[in-house]
Amino acid sequence: MWLLVAPLLPGLINKVKAWVAGRRGPPVLQLYYDLARLWRKGVVLSTAVSPGHVAGPAIAWVAVVGAALLMPLGPGGNALAFRGDALLFVYLLALARFCTAGAALDTGSAFEGMGAAREVSYAVLAEAAIITSLLTLGLQSGSVSLTSMLAPSAGAGAALLAAGLFAVLLAENCRVPFDDPNTHLELTMIHEVMVLDHSGPPLAVILHGASLKLLLFDVLLAEAVLPLGELPPLTAVGALVAAVLVVTVAVGLVESLLARLAFRRVPLFLTTAFLLCLFALLVAWKGGRA
Q: Smallest Cα–Cα separation from 192: which of 174, 169, 168?
A: 174
Output the pTM of the full model.
Answer: 0.95
In a domain, 290, yes or no: no
Task: Please report how many Cα atoms fall inside a 13 Å half-sphere around the Cα of residue 204, on the Cβ side.
Answer: 16
Chain segment 155-184, per-residue pLDDT in tens? 678 899 999 999 999 999 989 888 877 766
Q: Which secondary structure element, helix H or strand E, spans residue 6, and what is its range?
A: none
Q: Is the pLDDT of residue 289 over 60?
A: no
In a domain, 266, yes or no: yes
Q: Is the pLDDT of residue 153 over 80?
A: no
Residue 290 pLDDT: 45
Ramachandran angles phi, psi of 183, nearest 5° = -80, 155
In a domain, 126, yes or no: yes
Q: How far apart are CA 223 and CA 211, in angstroms?
A: 18
Chain segment 207-263, per-residue pLDDT in tens? 999 999 999 999 999 999 888 888 898 999 999 999 999 999 999 999 999 888 888
Report cis status (omega within 30 of 0) of the bond before 202: no
Q: Smallest Cα–Cα separation from 191: which of 217, 214, 222, 164?
A: 214
Helix (H/G/I), strand (E/B), else coil: 209: helix
Cβ-count burial of 160 within 10 angstroms (0-12 exposed, 13-18 middle, 19+ buried)? Answer: buried
In a domain, 21, yes or no: no
Residue 187 pLDDT: 64
Count of domains forming the chain: 1
Ramachandran angles phi, psi of 71, nearest 5° = -80, 120
In a domain, 9, yes or no: yes
* Full residue range of the structural domain in which residue 84 is found: 2-16+27-42+50-285
Q: Smallest Cα–Cα separation from 94: which of 55, 68, 120, 70?
A: 120
Asked whether the beta carbons of 191 and 116 are under 8 A apart, the reply is: no
Chain segment 18-71, per-residue pLDDT in tens? 999 999 999 999 999 999 999 999 999 988 899 999 999 999 999 999 999 999
Residue 288 pLDDT: 57
Q: Give Dmax (Cα) for the chain.
A: 63
Residues 6+ apart with CB under 8 A from 45: 53, 54
In a domain, 251, yes or no: yes
